[in-house]
């Protein structure tokens, strides 16, 4: 496989034109097809995580995790989400402070878009 290129070269070609070395496609047809779809230039053509997992399950290339493994993964992701929410709240507070400074200085800022990702939005809605 040395003639197929270094991993970064292979990934570069995959991203550029969707091609993989013929030996890879022959050895791993399902993975090659998925990889090409995952880097599609049109984001709507890219498979969702569920579609990827479904196809891998269907082809027998992925084994369902144990309940304990799922719990561990979910726990980790919940911690990650909590940390990201704190970061967003901090950034939202910084943005609010900067907007107040602009207001106090008489500098217009209506042309600057407001955050659409805010965790605690003024209208009471949230991303949760």
pLDDT band at 15 (very low <50, low <70, confident <90, very high): confident
What was the pLDDT predicted at 18? 80
pTM: 0.47
pLDDT, tens only, 59-102:
999 888 889 998 999 999 999 999 999 999 999 999 899 999 99
Residue with tokens 């070395």: 21
Closest CA to 111 of 99, 119, 96, 101: 99
* Phi-psi label, residue 43: left if phi above 0, alpha if psi -120 to 50, beta otherwise: alpha
**3-class state of residue 108 by DSSP:** coil
Helix 29-38 to helix 49-58 angle (10° resolution) is 170
pLDDT tens-digit series, residues 111-126:
877 765 555 444 545 5
pLDDT digits (tens, 9 = 90+) for 22-60: 998 999 999 999 998 998 889 999 999 999 999 999 999
Tokens read off for 49? 């995580």
Query: 43 is written with which tokens?
Result: 């984001």
Distance CA 103, CA 105 (A): 5
In eight-state DSSP terms, residue 62 is -
């Amino acid at each position: 496989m040395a003639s197929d290129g270094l991993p970064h070269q292979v990934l570069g070609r995959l991203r550029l034109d969707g091609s993989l070395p013929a030996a890879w496609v022959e050895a791993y047809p399902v993975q090659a097809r998925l990889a090409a779809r995952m880097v599609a230039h049109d984001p709507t053509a890219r498979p969702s995580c569920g579609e990827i997992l479904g196809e891998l399950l269907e082809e027998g290339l992925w084994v369902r995790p144990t309940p304990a493994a799922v719990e561990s993964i979910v726990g980790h992701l919940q911690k990650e989400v909590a940390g990201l929410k704190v970061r967003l709240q901090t950034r939202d507070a910084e943005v609010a402070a900067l907007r107040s400074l602009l207001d106090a200085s008489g500098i217009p800022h209506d042309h600057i878009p407001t955050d659409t990702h805010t965790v605690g939005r003024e209208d009471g809605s949230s991303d949760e």
